[in-house]
């Protein structure tokens, strides 16, 4: 989390091995192994949903998932497509073109494309931006399901996208890392801050994010 311009998207792109880094290293630690982002074994283990993903409008849901399975060289593409359709409750939309889906439903299909190869790490950049409350709830429920057996990193401005779903919150500020801890710890910091630092009625967590990111 953090304000615009602090590098949330840049960080996720680096984690997805889509950009170069000036210093440091990125390691994916799963099942006792630590795979560096420079390894050819790294990217196949990553699923990435950017904030503004491209899609082929004339593709149906099933075609879009099948195409993604082909790109990721999934061995049994039909079975993988069926599994994603089941996991994300896309049965009713499987034969509909992406351009004819609502924004929230299309985002679930694009989530399915990033999951088709069963990645160990799923990166979601502002996944619920532009969604209404109903579609946001459906998307969060879908993410809850897929997060049972993989690491999920979410960049978001909407704290309700996190809630008790995550075990760790990182707040980026103008000068770097501003907070690293649990949601409860973030809320506690916000509650301890002077109310004068925020508007009346501002949730404690939102106050903490705003103040910490500003470096006050």
In a domain, 187, yes or no: no
Q: What are the mean pLDDT values of the chain's consecutive 10-residue runs (216 residues total)?
A: 88 90 87 86 93 92 96 95 91 95 90 92 87 79 81 82 76 90 90 71 84 82
The structural domain count of the chain equals 1
Let me know if residue 192 belongs to a domain: no
Please give the C-alpha separations between residue 104 and each of 125, 132, 140, in angstroms, as whole numbers: 15, 8, 11
Domain that holds residue 19: 8-166
Is 96 part of a structural domain of the chain? yes
Q: How far is CA 20 from CA 13, 23, 26, 56, 125, in A?
A: 9, 9, 11, 28, 18
Residue 188 is assigned to a structural domain of this protein = no
Cross-strand bridge partners of residue 29: 34
Q: Read off the pLDDT of residues 156-173 as tens digits, 9 standing for 90 and up.
A: 877 766 666 788 899 999
Is the CB of residue 56 less than 8 Å from the CB of residue 64? Answer: yes
């Amino acid at each position: 989390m953090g304000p615009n311009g602090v590098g949330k998207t840049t960080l996720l792109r680096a984690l997805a091995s889509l950009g170069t880094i000036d210093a440091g290293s990125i390691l994916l630690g799963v099942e006792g192994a630590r795979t560096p982002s420079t390894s050819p074994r790294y990217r196949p283990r990553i699923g990435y949903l950017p904030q503004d993903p491209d899609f082929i409008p004339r593709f149906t849901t099933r075609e879009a998932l099948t195409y993604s399975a082909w790109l990721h060289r999934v061995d049994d593409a039909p079975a993988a497509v069926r599994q994603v359709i089941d996991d994300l409750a896309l049965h009713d939309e499987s034969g509909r073109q992406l351009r004819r889906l609502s924004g929230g439903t299309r985002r679930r299909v694009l989530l399915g494309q990033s999951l088709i190869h069963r990645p160990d790490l799923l990166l979601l950049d502002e996944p619920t931006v532009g969604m209404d409350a109903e579609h946001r709830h459906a998307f969060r429920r879908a993410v809850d399901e897929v997060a049972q057996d993989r690491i999920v990193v979410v960049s978001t401005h909407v704290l309700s996208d996190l809630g008790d779903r995550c075990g760790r919150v990182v707040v980026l500020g103008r000068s770097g890392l501003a907070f690293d801890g649990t949601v409860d710890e973030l809320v506690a910091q916000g509650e301890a801050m002077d109310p004068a630092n925020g508007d009346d009625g501002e949730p404690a967590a939102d106050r903490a994010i705003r103040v910490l990111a500003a470096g006050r």
